[in-house]
Structure 1
Amino acid sequence: MHPSGRDSPVLHILYISFLQTRVFSDLIVILLWLIGAIACIYVPVINETPVRVLMALPLVLFIPGYALIAALFPTNEDLDLIERIALSFGLSIAVVPLIGLGLNYTPWGIRLDPVVISVSLFTIVMVLIAQACRAMTRPDKRYRFPAEEIMAAIREEFFPKEGNRTDKILSIILLISIITAIGTTIFVIVFPKEGEKFTEFYILGEKRMAADYPDRLFIGEEYPMYIGVGNHEYRNVTYTIEVHQMTMENDESGNISYITRMNMTDRLSVIVPHNETVIMPYNLSAADIGYNRIEFLLFNETVPDNSVWGMERINQSYRDLHLWVKVLE
């Protein structure tokens, strides 16, 4: 039923936007690409292929900005196609970091799931607003993506009807060169050259900050903290984390330190996929009085046997961190 004048203005806008007016083709393409990109990120088989990168890059670099431009400029008199495309890239590069900045101050943080959900919700909201704004615009003023005109211009540019045989051959060579250049660019993006291989290993205080580390430990009490491992080894790695409590003393000259006691109090194993970071909560507790150093050792798949002890074990670890503490009763 057509909404009457007594109906809510919101219902009237919804009726015109989504019941009386068809969804515009470029907005449909945006939504379909968004769905395809999310599927490539989360579907188990596809997310391990280069298709994931190919689909996800426009989701970060182009689609949010295009949806925002479509919502802000619904008429064909505001911007031409080139300006829309250029602004779509620029606004996407601005919007996505701002979304990440906002997530940084939430409990979810800057992780894959919150970023994907936030960018997707932003894009969907902008597409709905763009559909409503265009539907409320006069039909002769609405922006319409000129797909047919673009295809006709490409055919006329590369395959003119009045052109001679030489021109057509040169046009074909130029078209093949453009396709090759685009394919090479996509290949470089999808299969980037491996950079330096390394692993991040760090400990955080109770507030997930690089501060407020415990320096006085009382026996029987637990001190919450966090252990972080970031994998940049270009492969999935199973890491082993050992926590040792030790006593270190100096010789009479004060120039040489040596270990007099060393006790392993915990051993953790964690699988970290490539280019991902795992931050684990950990409760630190004191084993006995007299210890003055907590040593965190990270082993990269190869763990020495228990006969390796002291500085030799520390030297064989892949990464090591420590806290100077005082253990009290």
Structure 2
Amino acid sequence: MSDRAVYADVAASIAVVAVAVVAVLNLEPITARAALAGALVLFFPGYALTTLVFPATREMRPGVGDLPSAFAGRTEHAGLPLLERLAVSFGLSVALVPLFAWTLQMIGAEFLAPNIAAVCGGATVLGLLAGGTRRLTTSADTRYVIPIGVLTEYRRAVRGRSELDGVLNVALAAAIVLSAGVVTFALASPADGAAYTQASLLTETENGTLVAADYPQNLTVGESSELVLLVENYERETVNYSVVAQLQRVESDGTVVEANELDRFSQTVGPGGAWELTHGVAPKMTGDNLRLTYLIYRGPAPEDPDIDSSYRHVTLWMNVSEPDAGDTRAAIAP
């Protein structure tokens, strides 16, 4: 048996996964992307895991007491024939979906189709490569290779089974198809409400990392503090954003009684892109509990911008005082 035959399904799976990832990233929702996205999420991750855990093809299923042998190199019980392998692949893939979602949350990525495709595709390729390597360490007479005449073997296997087995098989197949349809629709055709713009106000640490912490709370007039406004475009189209930075004096009932405009900015951002706006805040207005507000608009900003007219906004409360006599740290703006 040649190594090429041993790796045939691994190579083919990696190729299909690569095509599926490219399709999710580039094709329109209602295209071949739908079928490829469903397979990417609901079949290939589980198939990669079965390749790793079950490198053999013996017609013998591991019992509960034998499961550790599948991971310890004892391959006499770590085998699955093709049909069982395909069924287990669907089940394992469904079980892995929450793990992929948790991974996205841990790395701070949005639960969007491109990110899902990247996580599923990466995990699948790693599993297939590891599984193919482990398969080669299995004895040649038991290592798994895609069999010939699968349909003939299946017809022999189902002979003599009860009608109840047939009904259960149909029900299982229907459940798999339904699950695949739901996930495929979510990946291929995101809801209209999924289009949005996300805005975050961040600060930069000494090592250059952007964090939502360590905001300036107390400044003096003319003293400058640097903030980063992150605007992320999930509108699925190119957007020309405008930003107005204001320092506002606000009454206890939320009424703005005074607004000092600090700066205006604009930037065109493509779909899926982000705009990192670094802004040095140098307040001229003094007072406690002043509200630094970034008003974000799609298109040009109005002459008299406010929160009600903005598309998105982020705010930060701060205290601004007059500099002490002889304090040379604050440069009074003209």
Deviation at 1:296, TM superposition (A): 1.0
Inter-partner Cα distance in structure 2 for 1:94 and 1:201: 27
2:279 counterpart residue number: 283
Which of the numbers 215, 222, 226 marks the counterpart of 1:223? 226
**Partners of 1:293 and 1:94 in 2: CA distance:** 40
- Partner of 1:317, secondary structure, is coil
> In 2, distance between residues paired with 1:192 and 1:152?
41
Is the alpha carbon distance of 1:86 and 1:110 closer, same or farther for their aligned partners in structure 2, counting shifts above 3 Å? closer
- Give the drift of 1:281: 4.8
Distance 1:21 1:227, change over 3 A: closer
Give the deviation of 1:153 after TM superposition.
5.0
- Per the alignment, do residues 286 and 122 of structure 1 end up closer, same or farther by CA in structure 2, a change over 3 Å counting? same
Contact 1:64-1:88 within 8 A present in 2 as well? yes
1:149 aligns with 2:150: yes
Aligned counterpart, 1:52 = 33
Is the aligned partner of 1:62 residue 2:43? Answer: yes
Normalised to the residue count of structure 1, the TM-score between the two structures is 0.64
On the 8 A contact 1:237/1:300 being kept in 2, the answer is no
Q: Distance in 2 between matches of 1:126 and 1:269?
A: 42
Give, in whole Å, the separation in 1 of the partners of 2:301 and 2:277.
25
- Counterpart residue number, 1:125: 126
Percent identity of the aligned residues?
19
CA distance in 1, matches of 2:4, 2:233: 49
Distance in 2 between residues matched to 1:324 and 1:136, nearest whole Å = 63
**1:20–1:70: structure 2 CA closer, same or farther, 3 Å change rule?**
closer
Greater Cα shift, 61-70 or 78-87: 78-87
Alpha-carbon displacement from aligned partner over 1:72-92 (angstroms, at most 9, x marks no partner): 211123335335324431453
Question: Which one-letter code corresponds to 1:282 in the other structure?
Answer: T
The Cα of 1:199 is off from its aligned counterpart by 3.8
TM-superposed CA distance for 1:238, in Å, is 1.1
1:21-55 Cα deviation digits (max 9, x unpaired): 5343321221111221243255x6x4676333432
Q: Tell me how far 1:317 sits from its aligned partner.
A: 1.2
CA pair 277-271 structure 1, distance change in 2 beyond 3 A:
closer
Are residue 213 (structure 1) and residue 215 (structure 2) matched?
Answer: yes
1:204 to 195, 202, 205: 202
Structural mapping, 1:23-42, within 5 Å: 23-41=6-24
Q: Which fold has the larger relative contact order, with Cα–Cα distance below 8 Å and residues 6 or more apart in sequence?
A: 2
Indicate the residue corresponding to 2:260 in structure 1. Answer: 262
CA–CA distance in structure 2, aligned partners of residues 34 and 94 of structure 1: 20
**RMSD value over aligned CA atoms?**
4.4
Q: In the alignment, is residue 89 of structure 1 matched against residue 72 of structure 2?
A: no
Change (3 A) 1:214 1:150: farther
Seen in structure 2, the aligned counterparts of structure 1 residues 132 and 323 have a Cα distance that, compared at 3 Å, is closer
Query: Is 1:22 equivalent to 2:5 in the alignment?
Result: yes
User: Any idea what SS the aligned residue of 2:263 has?
Assistant: strand
Query: Any gaps of 5 or more consecutive residues in structure 2?
Result: 59-78, 159-169, 322-329
**Cα shift readout 1:274-308 (whole Å, capped 9, x = no counterpart):** xx47362523321424373311112133x3542x3
Alpha-carbon distance in 1 for matches of 2:94, 2:248: 56
Distance 2:238 2:294 in 1: 18
Distance 1:197 1:96 in 2: 22
Return closer, same or farther for 1:101/1:296 CA change in 2, 3 Å cut-off.
Answer: closer
Given the superposition, is the C-alpha separation of residues 272 and 57 from structure 1 closer, same or farther in structure 2, using an over 3 Å criterion?
A: farther
CA contact (8 A) 1:21 1:135 kept: no
Q: 1:259 to 1:317 in 2, by over 3 A?
A: same
Deviates more, 1:95-104 or 1:240-249: 95-104
Unaligned runs of at least 5 residues, structure 1? 1-15, 158-173
Aligned to 2:310: 317
Q: Give the conservation status (yes or no) of the 8 Å contact 1:64–1:95.
A: no
Q: 1:103 to 1:132 in 2, by over 3 A?
A: same
Paired with 2:313 and 2:43, the residues of 1 have a C-alpha distance of 41
Could you tell me which residue of structure 1 aligns to residue 80 of structure 2? 79
Find the aligned partners of 2:96 and 2:254 in 1 and give their Cα distance: 56
Question: Aligned letter for 1:298?
Answer: I
| Counterpart-to-counterpart distance in 1, 2:194 and 2:103 | 29
CA shift, 1:257, in A, is 3.5
Give the Cα–Cα distance (whole angstroms) in 2 for the partners of residues 213 and 55 of structure 1: 45
Length-normalised TM-score, structure 2: 0.63
- How many corresponding residue pairs? 276
